[in-house]
Amino acid sequence: MLIIGSHVGFNKDNQLLGSLNEALSYGANTFMFYTGAPQNTTRGKIIDELTLQAMQIMKEMKIDYSKVIVHAPYIINLANGDIEKFSFSVRFLKEEIERCSQLGVKYMVLHPGSHVGLGIDEGINNIIRGLNEVLKDSPVTILLETMAGKGTELGRSFEEIKRIIDGIEDKDRIGVCLDTCHLHDAGYDVTNFDKLLDEFDDKVGLHYVKCIHINDSKNICGSHKDRHENIGFGHIGFEHLISIIYNERLDDIPKILETPYIDDKPPYKEEIEMIRTRHFDEKLKENVVSNE
C-alpha cells in the first residue's frame, strides 16, 4: 500500500492533533514532524489528551501510527567530540526520545552528524558512542538519514552508514532513512533504483530501511549541495521519483515529502495528488500559489 505524506508542523497548542489535521488536509496517510522548532531547544509539555484524540482519529481512518515519523532537531551533532557539544547533543537527543515515547512514536530520523574537521574515523566513532548511550533502554528506533555530503557531513555513503550500524550494540534500535535528493547529491544514480537497492542490500541490508524522504534536487548528481526541489522540477525528474515511490520492494515503507514551500505555501496537497495519479502537472507551482 502507498503510504505517503509530508513533513508537517507541530505547535504547542494543538500538538499531534494539529499535525494530523494538517496531514489530512494534504490527502496524506502518514506524516513526519519535529517536536518543536528544529533549530532550537525550546520544547513545550506534551498534552496526552491531544495525543489520544489524534490516535483515535487515526484508528478510525486506518492510518498506521507506528509509521509516523519524528525528525530529530538538526542542532544535534553526535560526530562532534568536543565535550560540551557532545554532551549537549546526547542530552537533547535523550529528551527527544523521551518525547517520542510519550507521543507513542516508534521511529526518529537523525542526521548522523558532521565531523567538523576531526576526520571521518573520529566522527564515526563519536556517533557510535553517542548512539549507544542514547539507545540504552530506548523504546524508539533511530533512523540514520543518508546525507548529501555537504561540508563534513557523515552518512553520505552506504559504507559510512554501514560502519555506524556495525558499532551499534542494539541493532533492533537502529535503521535507515533514504533521502532521494541526498542520495542523488551524494553521487548515487537514483534513476536505476533497483540497482541502488541491490547495492544497499549488499552493503547494509534492505531490512534497515524504515522511511524514505522523497525530494527532487535542484542540482546535478554528485553536487553535494542538498537543495530540495519540488517533485518533477529538479534533476531527478517526475518519472524517476514515481518509480522509486511505487517500487514494490519499498511497499509499506512511509514516503515523506520535504519539498520547498512555494511563495510561503505548502505544495504537499498538489504533490500528493500528482503522485497518486502518477500524472505530472507542469503548472503545479502556479496552482499552489493561486489556490486558497
**Binding interface with Fe ion (CB under 5 A):** 145, 179, 213
Measured between its terminal Cα atoms, the distance across the chain in Å is 30
Nearer to Fe ion, 51 or 240 (CB): 240
Q: Is 226 in the site for Zn ion (CB under 5 A)?
A: yes
CB of 256 to Fe ion, least distance (A): 8
Tell me which of Zn ion, Fe ion, none is bound by residue 99, counting a contact when its beta carbon lies within the kind-specific cut-off of 5 to 8 angstroms. Answer: none
The residue among 173 and 182 lying less far from Zn ion, judged by its C-beta, is 182
CA gap 235, 289 in Å, rounded: 22
The CA distance from 282 to 287, in Å, is: 10
DSSP 251: T
- Write down the least CB distance from residue 181 to Zn ion, Å: 6
Position of cell 505555501? 265
Q: Which is nearer to Zn ion, 22 or 226 (CB)?
A: 226
- Nearest to Fe ion of 47, 187 (CB atom): 187
Task: Return the one option of Zn ion, Fe ion, none that residue 153 interacts with (CB less than 5 to 8 A, by type).
Answer: none
Q: Which partner in Zn ion, Fe ion, none is near 213 (CB below 5 to 8 A by kind)?
A: Fe ion
Q: Residue 22 binds which entry of Zn ion, Fe ion, none, with Cβ cut-offs from 5 to 8 Å by kind?
A: none
Residue 96 or residue 226: which is nearer to Zn ion going by CB?
Answer: 226
Pairing status of strand 174-179 against strand 69-71: unpaired
Q: How far is the CB of 146 from Fe ion (least distance, A)?
A: 9
**CA nearest to 150, candidates 186, 124, 121:** 186
Min CB(103)–Zn ion separation in Å:
24
Q: Tell me the residue type at 63.
A: I
Backbone phi and psi for residue 176, each to the nearest 5 degrees, phi listed first: -135, 145
Contacts of 52 (CB under 8 A, 6+ apart): none
The set of cell numbers assigned to 172 is 533492533
Binding site for Zn ion (CB under 5 A): 226
